[in-house]
Amino acid sequence: MVKVTGGCLCGAIRYEAEGEPMAHAVCFCTDCQKANGGGPTYALIMPRAGFRVTKGEPGSYSIRADSGGNVGRFFCPNCGTMLFSKPASIAHVVPIRAGTLDDPSIYRPNLQIFTASAPPWMHVDPNLLSFERNPPRPATQT
């Protein structure tokens, strides 16, 4: 079992997550590009059951994502750091922004999604498992 901790730039929001990482993903969807000001999202995908905010109250908003489902995006209302998201279509996970981890060296990309949305100048690693949109999920997952 892995325990990760992290937070925002100003320190107002802190979180922790316990469990086995499900993926170390790079998301190239247009929503992530806009939220990041141009780049993809680098996210450690953790089980939502082991995730909790330990300090502060993050701000949030909900959008209809490229996947068609709603995604809650959480950020620090003080400094604006994007922290994590909660996709409704895969409610058992929480993608945590790798740059907000106290030890970001644990993040090692192994999956790329929405590669069809990457602009030509963005690097899509040909050596990683890649999907033009979302990866298929087993029929038993919701």
Q: For the domain that residue 105 is a member of, what is the CATH number? A: 2.170.150.70
Structural domain boundaries, residue 29: 12-119
Sequence-ordered list of residues with C-beta below 8 angstroms from that of 20, at least 6 positions apart, any chain: 1, 2, 47
pTM of the model: 0.90
- Identify the weakest region by mean pLDDT among 12-21, 28-37, 61-70, 89-98: 61-70
Q: What is the largest CA-CA distance in the chain?
A: 41
| Residue 140 belongs to a domain | no
- CA-wise closest residue to 52 among 102, 86, 16: 16
Domain count, the chain: 1
Predicted local confidence at residue 140, as pLDDT = 39
Confidence of residue 62 (pLDDT cuts 50, 70, 90): very high
Between 136 and 40, the more confident residue is 40
| Residue 129 belongs to a domain | no
Read off the pLDDT of residues 24-59 as tens digits, 9 standing for 90 and up.
999 999 889 998 888 999 999 999 999 999 999 999
